[in-house]
Amino acid sequence: MTGTAASHCGEMHLEMTKRRQEIEREVGRAVAKWDARWMAIAKEIGSWSKDRSRGVGCVIVGPYNELRSTGFNGFPRGVNDELKSRLERPAKYRWTEHAERNAIYNAARVGIPLEGCRMYLPWFPCMDCARAIIQSGICELICVKPDLADAHWGADFAEVPQMLHEGGVRVRWWKAHSRKE
């Protein structure tokens, strides 16, 4: 190859590399925009919870950014959630279903597949929810980093990342990308 041809190939390679990096930045911005939208919806859905100490919402999204299911932490359908004794610790842990499993159950109830979907959760899953996430076929979890010092959930939180990894679920840590968060 002559010097001129080699120089031309080098220039083309550099230009292609720059264009690829530009496309990757554009895709990254689009992903961040969708992540912010879905996480905002999950937070809104969490506000529907009657849990006095922590309302958690969850959104499950398909591969083309289509909404598949939602859930929040609350009592099972038809179960009286007005009795104060059921809303207090430790009873609330026995009576309340978590947002993640509620979203999975809501999808199953109407036959919506979750294989290959993403889950948005402004919290971190317990071991029970991690098993459900894996078993339902969800492939990616976007969530906040866990508080390993949490008195009730810390022990679970310490083991969940390993389970999700072994189960093939990619975890991305949510960081607020705007002043709105």
Q: Is there a catalytic annotation at residue 100?
A: yes
Q: Of 66, 100, 140, 166, which one is the catalytic site residue?
A: 100
Using an 8 Å Cβ cutoff, are 60 and 118 in contact?
Answer: yes
- CB half-sphere exposure, 66, CA atoms < 13 A: 8
Q: How far is CA 164 from CA 17, 37, 129, 160, 167, in A?
A: 34, 24, 10, 6, 5
- Residues with catalytic roles: 100
